[in-house]
Structure formats: structure tokens, C-alpha cells
Amino acid sequence: MPLPTATELLLAMDAARPRTQQREMGISGLGKCRRRAGYQVQGYDPDPGYQTGGIQAVLGTAIHQALAEAAARELPGAEPESLEVEFGGLVGHPDLYYLRTVRDNKTLGYAMQVENRRQSGPAMSERWQVHVYGAALILAGWPVERVEIDYLARDSGDEYLFAEDFSVDVVAQAMAWLHDVRTSPVELLPRDFRPDSATCRGCQFFGRCWDTERGKDDRHVLFADDPDAAGWARRLEEARRVRKWAEQQEADCKGALDHLRGVGRPGESQEVAVPGLDGQVLRFSVQRGKESPDMGLIALDYQRAGARPPMRRGEPVVRVAVVKPKE
């Protein structure tokens, strides 16, 4: 019998964790997909055969465990991942509580994701989560004055620490969202993500939500929600028109701003201060061109050898257009 791979061992370990087996929605689900939250809080069963977690999630869990061990050693009196709290009927586990501060650690796959948080701030759901942790701790007798979200990129080690004062108003926003989820029929709750997103692909209710039918686009169920064929057709035309306009605008803006660029070699970057951008700057970076097979030369080599390049046929492509009918 061959030894299990590292991935198989990690997934088996994660599958046995009580928090992985938890079906009920927790505090970490606030502000994410309303349809998935509705399935959870209203007691729907996951899709048959659904497998919990993935290797990326397991790696994130391992980092969280290492951070908890480090905090316990380096911060005497801290509570790292040891507190279970409850608020609004939801259970959660803050990653760290220390000196009236509650922190949630977020491990992201790429440095660009951390940079996006640095530039644009946390996602609404991330702020709701950590503020509700704060409210739960206060109810349990632990004073909270400050909340933090510590983002760490797995690919580069880039880090960004977001911090702000604890806010009852933020907690109220989260509870209003939760009330809507609990009191609305689940079929009327919006699908906040689309089937090609990582959120949907990892969702335990994917089959129930998108009612997958072989040979059909997963999104065909949107028509059942709104069976207005003419409306969908007009939206299709409008989306294509706006996309074309947006692509032209992007090209024009990028081309005009290239006048300010002073770097040109792969790996070089440059920041340019621009008045009127509220303290933000333009960042130019040059990346090495992506390598790809030279199909022309490959075809020529096969032609010289009197052979045909191996071909792989893709899935059938369905095109949709709004046109005048044939006479």
C-alpha cells in the first residue's frame, strides 16, 4: 500500500477537525453569500457527497495554528484561538485577544490580494466578523476597545495590519444583514457570487443553488428567477456595449499615463505622486512577458516531418446574439 501524499494527509487531518465538520453558520459567514447563509441558518443539508475544505484552506488553518502557538509563547496573558464566543445566535473563535484588542488573522494566496486590502481596505464581511467578535467578547465580560485584521500573503509573506476602534454601528449593520437572511425565503435571497467563483466552487450547496444540468450553463437558473427573455437580451447587448467602451477607456487612460513612466526593464517599478489622488500614487511595474509555445514553429516542424500536430478539441461553444430574423 503506497504512503498517502502530503495533501492527502493534511486533508484527512482537517476533515476530522470539529470546526471543519460544523454545518451551522458561524460568525465568519457574516456578509458573504446571502443564499449560502440562508441554506445554513434555515437548516438545509449540504449536497450529497460534498467534500469539506481544500488544500489551500488547510494551509491557512496550519498557519493559524502556528500563529496561535507563537502568540501564546510571546504574549503572556493572551487568548489565541482559545475562546469560543457567541453573538446573535452565531458561534465564533477569535484568532487573538490581548490588551482590549481582538484580532482576526487572514491568510491570502497572493501578495496582490494583500495589496488590494492595503489600498481599498477590508471587505465588508471581514470588518463585520471582527467587530462581532468584539461584541461577543464584551458580552462575555472581556473589554474590547480595538479590532484588528492581519493579512498575510502565502506566496510572498507580504503583510498588512488593519486596525480601528470597536464600533457598535458596524455590529448593527451585520445583525441587520443576518435578520434579512433569517426572515427571507431562501429562494428569494440573492446569489452574491457566480458559479465560476472560488466561493461558489467550494460551497456545500452548489448543486442545490445552481441546479446544475449537464450541457447547460450553470447560470441558466437565473432565468427561472426572472423569466424575461427580452430583458436578458437587452442586458446582454448593453453589457457588450459597455464592455467595449470600458476597454477603450482603459486603453486610453493607461496609454496617456504611460507618459509619466520612467521604468522599462522587467522587475523594475516606480511610484509617481499625482496631485488630486488623495495621497495615493501611481505605481508602474514592468513584468517579464509570459512564455508560451510558438505554435507557428511547432506546426512548421510537424509539417517538415510529414506529421500533424496533436490536437485537442474543446467543449462546444454556445454563442448568443440579438439579430434580425432571416427572411
> For cell 508560451, what's the residue?
292
Distance CA 129, CA 171 (A): 9
The Cα angle at residue 118 between residues 191 and 28, in degrees rounded to 5: 40
Domain boundaries defined on the chain: 8-210, 226-256
| Alpha carbon of residue 12 to chain centroid | 24
Predicted confidence (pLDDT) per residue in 227-244, tens digit? 999 999 999 999 999 999
Gap between the Cα atoms of 91 and 34, Å rounded: 18
Of the options 3.40.920.10, 3.30.420.40, 2.40.30.10, 3.90.320.10, the CATH number for the domain spanning 8-210:
3.90.320.10
Helix (H, G, I), strand (E, B) or coil at 277: coil
Contact call for residues 80 and 68 (beta carbons, < 8 A): yes
Q: What is the pLDDT of residue 52?
A: 66
Q: Give residue 131's pLDDT.
A: 98
Burial of 33 (0-12, 13-18, 19+ CB in 10 A): buried
Dihedral over Cα of 52, 53, 55, 59: its sign: negative
Q: How far apart are CA 178 and CA 38, in angstroms?
A: 9
Per-block mean pLDDT, blocks of 10 residues, the chain (327 long): 75 64 80 94 87 70 79 83 89 93 92 90 96 96 96 90 97 97 93 92 90 83 92 95 96 95 90 89 88 87 88 83 82
Q: Which helix (H) or strand (E) holds 224?
A: helix 221-225
Please give the DSSP secondary-structure letter assigned to residue 259: G
Q: What's the rounded Cα separation, in Å, for the pair 181 and 31?
A: 10
Rounded to whole angstroms, the Cα distance separating 206 from 36 reads 9
The reported pLDDT for the residue numbered 22 is 56
CA atoms of 13 and 20, how far apart (whole Å): 10
Threshold 0.95, pTM exceeds? no
CB 195 within 8 Å of CB 213: no
**Alpha-carbon span 218 to 210, nearest angstrom:** 6
